[in-house]
Amino acid sequence: MARNTHHDGPGPSQRQLRVGELIRRTLSSVLAKGDVHDPDLNRMSITVGEVRTSPDLKIATVYVMPLGGGARDEAIEALKRNRGELRRALMKDMTLKYAPDLRFVIDETFDRMDETREMLARADVRRDVEAVARRDAESGEGDA
């Protein structure tokens, strides 16, 4: 799931993408198995949608969403409370020189998708989209 970011440099390196995906899978597994010694966190079902790492791999921003989208603040607080244990679990399963500092944020991707669907379902927007499609078809632009 690509995120819309505003920076001037190139995108993440292959190494950043690979390490981010490995962290995502490892954290997903740890959270799914309830391997953390916090009953509050183990009661929650949390999806890890994406992990982005800094170029030096020392910071990992973890995009999460509790099942059903509720209890967002509680999920972030529980993850922050257990940051040290989650870092140790990562280091046990991964071969990185340093355990990255984990930063947890709510994954807004699904909210944006819902908002886009709702917008596209509106009659005025459908009418405008259809008008542009007709205009493009008539001018031959839609044949690309």
Report the candidate in 17, 117, 99, 15 with the shortest Cα–Cα distance to residue 58: 99
| Tally of CB atoms within 10 A around 142 | 12
pLDDT of the residue at 74: 94
Higher pLDDT, residue 111 or 125:
125
Between 93 and 44, the more confident residue is 44
Section 43-70 average pLDDT: 92
Amino acid in position 22: L
pLDDT at 93 over 50: yes
Q: How confident is the model at residue 68 (pLDDT cuts 50, 70, 90)?
A: confident
DSSP code for 140: T
Residue-wise over 113-131: b if at least 16 C-beta within 10 A, else e? eeeeeeeeeeeeeeeeeee
pLDDT value at 4 more than 50:
no
Of the listed ranges 55-59, 103-107, 124-128, the least confidently predicted one is: 124-128
62 φψ region: left (φ > 0), alpha (ψ -120 to 50), beta (else): beta
The pLDDT of 107-122, averaged and rounded, is 71
Beta bridge partners of 50: 63
What pLDDT does residue 138 have?
A: 86
| Cα-Cα end-to-end distance for the chain | 26
Q: Of 24 and 119, which is predicted with more confidence? A: 24
7, with CB counted inside 10 A (0-12, 13-18, 19+), is exposed
Q: How far apart are CA 132 and CA 128, in angstroms?
A: 6
Summarize the confidence of residues 21-30 as an average pLDDT: 94
Q: Which two tokens stand for residue 44?
A: 């929650």
Residues forming a β-bridge with 62? 51, 104
Sketch out the chain's domains with CATH numbers: 9-107 (3.30.300.20), 108-144 (no CATH)
**Joined tokens for residue 41:** 């966190």
Q: What is the pLDDT of residue 110?
A: 64
Mean per-residue pLDDT over the chain, rounded: 84
